[in-house]
Amino acid sequence: MGRVTASLADLPLRDDLRGLSPYGAPQAPLPIALNVNENTHPVPDAVASDILDDIAVALRDVNRYPDREFTTLREGFADYLGHGLVADQIWAGNGSNEVLQHILQAFGGPGRTAFSFAPTYSMYPLIAKGTGATWVAGTRQPDYSLTPDDAAAQVEDADPDVILLCAPNNPTGTPLSLDVIEAVYEVSRGIVVVDEAYQEFAPHDAPSALTLLDGRPRLAVSRTMSKAFAFAGARVGYLAADPALIDALRLVRLPYHLSALTQAAAIAALRNSDVMLGMVEEIVEQRNRISATLEALGYTPHESWSNFVLFGGVSDPASVWQQLYDRGVLIRDVGIPGHLRVTAGTEAETTAFLEALASIGSAS
């Protein structure tokens, strides 16, 4: 066998993929990893063993293809979400990234446009372009919020086929009011996806976009088990929408896309949702401590309804990121000038981050 010596430029790659970079949050084995908004609390032992029992049962039938319709799991998500939702209104995939890819495969694609308001989740343009759509980014207010009038005007102007609204927004943590979603829906003709990956970290009285689903057949609300549920490694995301929209996703998914082991694990985790979500309050407390301490250190943390904090006032983000790295703390440089983003960890991890940052010196 000869060595592989070709570069991408030598291969018959799609022209629209040339020059793109893959998703690349660094995966470094540091003791304190607060860079990708995971729930850093491990799955409790009792829950882990309950999940394992169900996986063991599923494993005995793994010679057969899994339930292509993942019916029990869809029922579980409908129950968990409430709002009178039923299984026909639920979809799921290997992470909400796959769910978003299904949306873009079905409703985006070549000759079509996908739209969001930057800065936002870095995977949106990658999934949009990977499925052949043109990517258009709108703008936010200086504090990263959106107003109904401005958001609607930008959407009307871009006339997109798929609109992605991140609520609360990653990487800024900014809440999104339902007014904005309603206004954008009114002026659009495309699919409006509200990505509520961090909804469980929002104030308890903050309404979900799920309350808007009735009578809006182009609206979809996506969620994930990767963040609050402490299940990122299992890869499970889901979505609620009109049954017709769900049917469209069946056209593009690969058959049996959710393995029997994934379905078993997710069903068992959902059954233990009280315990799985038991860490959320503690994480919110750490998030608030991060914001207060950053402010005391002279940085400018942005309002966050998620499990992370974006903070400004960093004169040299690359250098601060590296100095934290050298102290065993991994956070995220999201490419916003003067800013860094940190995930709220356990109390001990959060303390380690705050002490390491304080030891580097104060804000610019």
Ligand X SMILES: *Cc1c(COP(=O)(O)O)cnc(C)c1O
**Binding status of residue 248 toward ligand X by CB under 6 A:** no
Quick one: three-class SS letters along 70-119? Answer: CHHHHHHHHHHHCCCCCHHHEEEECCHHHHHHHHHHHHCCCCCEEEEECC
Number of residues that bind ligand X (CB under 6 A): 14
Token output for 230: 């402490």
303 vs 288: CA distance, rounded Å: 10
Binding residue (CB under 6 A) for ligand X from 40, 89, 97, 131: 97
Q: Which amino acid is at 289?
A: R
**Binding status of residue 197 toward ligand X by CB under 6 A:** yes
Of 194 and 356, nearer to ligand X (C-beta) is: 194
Of 301, 194, 199, which Cα lies nearest the Cα of 245? 194
Binding residue (CB under 6 A) for ligand X from 39, 131, 226, 263: 226
Of 195 and 200, nearer to ligand X (C-beta) is: 195
Q: Which amino acid is at 206?
A: A
309 vs 170: CA distance, rounded Å: 10
Binding residue (CB under 6 A) for ligand X from 76, 125, 138, 237: 237
**Binding status of residue 224 toward ligand X by CB under 6 A:** yes
The backbone region for 176, taken as left when phi is positive above 0, alpha when psi lies in -120 to 50, beta otherwise, is beta
Token output for 188: 């659009």
Binding to ligand X (CB under 6 A) within 287-346 occurs at none
| Shortest separation between residue 345's beta carbon and ligand X, angstroms | 16
**Binding status of residue 262 toward ligand X by CB under 6 A:** no
Binding residue (CB under 6 A) for ligand X from 30, 187, 212, 232: 232
Binding residue (CB under 6 A) for ligand X from 195, 200, 242, 349: 195
| Shortest separation between residue 2's beta carbon and ligand X, angstroms | 37
CB distance 148 to 117 below 8 Å: no
| Shortest separation between residue 285's beta carbon and ligand X, angstroms | 21
Residue by residue, DSSP assigns 281-350 as HHHHHHHHHHHHHHHHTT-EEPP-SSSEEEEE--S-HHHHHHHHHHTTEE-B--S-TT-EEEE---HHHH
Of 227, 234, 238, 277, which Cα lies nearest the Cα of 55? 234
Of 177, 113, 180, which Cα lies nearest the Cα of 150? 180
| Shortest separation between residue 197's beta carbon and ligand X, angstroms | 4
Q: For the stretch 322-331, what's the b/e string if a residue is b when 16 or more beta carbons lie within 10 angstroms of its beta carbon? A: ebbbebebbb
Binding residue (CB under 6 A) for ligand X from 95, 125, 175, 301: 95
Of 23, 37, 80, 32, which Cα lies nearest the Cα of 230? 37
Of 218 and 341, nearer to ligand X (C-beta) is: 341
Question: Helix or strand or coil: residue 124?
Answer: helix
Question: Helix or strand or coil: residue 219?
Answer: strand
Of 283 and 356, nearer to ligand X (C-beta) is: 283
Q: Which stretch binds ligand X (CB under 6 A): 182-190, 224-232, 262-270, 338-346?
A: 224-232
**Binding status of residue 96 toward ligand X by CB under 6 A:** yes
| Shortest separation between residue 360's beta carbon and ligand X, angstroms | 26
Of 270 and 356, nearer to ligand X (C-beta) is: 270
Phi, psi of 163 (to 5 degrees): -120, 125
Q: Which stretch binds ligand X (CB under 6 A): 39-47, 177-185, 223-231, 341-349?
A: 223-231
Q: Which stretch binds ligand X (CB under 6 A): 20-28, 59-67, 93-101, 346-354?
A: 93-101
Binding to ligand X (CB under 6 A) within 34-63 occurs at 37
Fill in the per-residue mask, 157 to 186: x = in contact with ligand X (CB under 6 A), - = not in contact. Answer: ---------x---x----------------
In the complex, residue closest to ligand X by CB: 95
Summarize as ranges the residues that interact with ligand X (CB under 6 A).
37, 95-97, 121, 166, 170, 195, 197, 224, 226-227, 232, 237
